[in-house]
Structure 1
Amino acid sequence: MRIVRSARAHIARYGEAPSFRELAAAVGLSSIATVSYHLRRLRELGVIVETRGRVSARCPHCGLTP
């Protein structure tokens, strides 16, 4: 859930979702493929939605909107 927390923090600070590279840097990953894998799994679980190459951490359980 570090990815979701990082995405939420980025949205709160900048008003938009982070890029894959920004998200990777925020959670200490060097591989965009690893970020992509985790984002795909989170999307399958309904935790996030993805739009135009940016991740949007819309968490229905926490009431977050971009």
Structure 2
Amino acid sequence: MSLTERQVRIVRSAREWVAEYGEAPSLRELAEAAGLSSPSSAHYQVMRMRERGVVVETRGRRSGRCPNCGH
């Protein structure tokens, strides 16, 4: 499985963020760190990577759902 250049930048930026701050970045922070135009661009790329089995953790609003089962 190969990632696009943009996706590689996102993964690298997320790892660097965690190393520096000790927590996952928000989508806004990830977009800025990876040089993307908007948080929605980061969200789109993160979702495409998750569909392919590449997990990029992000910090966001709490959904109130169980993080394990989704209920």
Does the pair score TM above 0.5? yes
State the shift of 1:13 in Å.
Answer: 1.1
More strand by share: 1
What is the aligned residue count?
A: 54
Q: TM-score w.r.t. structure 1 length?
A: 0.69
Q: Which residue of 2 aligns with 1:26?
A: 33
When residues 21 and 52 of structure 1 are mapped into structure 2, their CA distance, relative to the original with a 3 A threshold, is: closer
Stretches of 4+ aligned residues off by more than 6 angstroms? none
Structure 1 unaligned blocks of 5 or more: 55-66
RMSD value, Cα? 2.0
Give the SS at the match of 1:43. Answer: helix
Instruction: Give the TM-score normalised by structure 2.
Output: 0.65
